[in-house]
């Protein structure tokens, strides 16, 4: 299917053996008529190792969707001619199961709802945070590919970060590695292995600190504050390590 692209990925892998190899073959279709937004999104996706095809109209998008398999589609709602909502509906009628993330303006609430009804999987409001967009793309691809995309025993995706347990380090979206303490590594693993579950502070204390020490529940909160700086696109508005009032925390991938 993909014979004319030459060798990829576009970056050298050798220097950093923790590079996310599975992402280098992922193809994303970007449908956006705004040049500035399109350029920014494409650049960021390419830097993350994706192959990006950029189309500027819904009609052109459907054309390529009929012949090329993509791992994810980023679809602007307000397009000239056919709208993004119509494209999503039509793509689903064609039987495409590819994750579709809509890009919407703040005043397009109606179309946002009908886009989700029509088969889109998610939406992001403009102006969106680039790290957030990359995290959503990653999450949707991972979900849609099920077992193919399960990280190795030694790697975990937590929010927007990649945790390498062997190296006991965490890579944030800007590519920086941060060393993790034992407790931080165990806490990240505990969260990642219990997605969607409300974990009490007592659960976390027992799992991470065990019986051998007597830290207070405040210790848990301090650790969470630190981890959020690494795994959240906006640490002050956490989406991944969410507070469960009067109880503890819940991890949302």
User: How many chain residues bind Ca ion (CB under 5 A)?
Assistant: 3
Find the residue with minimal CB distance to Ca ion: 78
| Contact call for residue 71 and Ca ion (CB under 5 A) | no
Contact pattern from residue 13 through residue 52 relative to Ca ion, giving x for each residue in contact according to CB under 5 A and a dash for the rest = --------------------x-------------------
Q: Among residues 78 and 151, whose Cβ is nearest to Ca ion?
A: 78
| Contact call for residue 76 and Ca ion (CB under 5 A) | yes
CB of 62 to Ca ion, least distance (A): 17
CB of 77 to Ca ion, least distance (A): 7
Single residue of 22, 57, 60, 78 touching Ca ion by CB under 5 A: 78
| Contact call for residue 108 and Ca ion (CB under 5 A) | no
Which stretch in 78-86, 124-132, 184-192, 230-238 sits in contact with Ca ion by CB under 5 A?
78-86
Is the separation of the CB atoms in 123 and 95 below 8 Å?
no
CB of 88 to Ca ion, least distance (A): 14
Q: Which of residues 170-229 bind Ca ion (CB under 5 A)?
A: none
Please choose, from the candidates 88, 90, 64, the residue with its C-alpha nearest in 3D space to the C-alpha of residue 76. Answer: 88
Q: Which two tokens stand for residue 128?
A: 């969106």
Q: What is the rounded distance in angstroms from the CA atom of residue 201 to the CA atom of residue 77?
A: 42
Report the interface residues with Ca ion, using CB under 5 A: 33, 76, 78
């Amino acid at each position: 299917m993909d014979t004319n692209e030459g060798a990829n990925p576009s970056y050298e892998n050798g220097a950093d053996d923790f590079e996310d190899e599975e992402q280098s073959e992922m193809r994303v279709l970007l449908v956006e008529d705004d040049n500035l937004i399109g350029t920014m999104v494409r650049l960021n996706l390419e830097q993350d190792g994706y192959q990006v095809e950029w189309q500027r109209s819904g009609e052109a998008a459907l054309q390529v969707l009929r012949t090329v398999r993509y791992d994810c589609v980023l679809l602007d709602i307000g397009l000239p001619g056919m709208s993004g909502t119509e494209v999503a509906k039509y793509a689903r009628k064609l039987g495409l199961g590819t994750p579709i993330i809509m890009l919407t303006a703040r005043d397009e609430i109606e179309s946002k709802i009908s886009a989700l009804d029509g088969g889109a999987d998610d939406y992001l409001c403009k102006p969106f945070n680039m790290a957030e967009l990359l995290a959503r793309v990653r999450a949707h691809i991972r979900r849609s590919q099920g077992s193919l995309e399960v990280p190795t025993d030694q790697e975990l995706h937590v929010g927007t970060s990649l945790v390498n347990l062997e190296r006991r380090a965490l890579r944030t979206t800007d590519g920086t590695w941060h060393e993790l303490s034992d407790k931080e590594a165990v806490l990240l693993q505990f969260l990642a292995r219990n997605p969607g579950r409300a974990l009490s502070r007592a659960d976390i204390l027992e799992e991470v600190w065990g019986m051998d020490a007597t830290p207070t529940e405040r210790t848990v909160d301090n650790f969470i504050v630190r981890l959020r700086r690494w795994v959240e696109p906006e640490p002050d508005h956490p989406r991944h390590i969410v507070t469960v009032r009067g109880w503890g925390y819940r991890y949302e991938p």
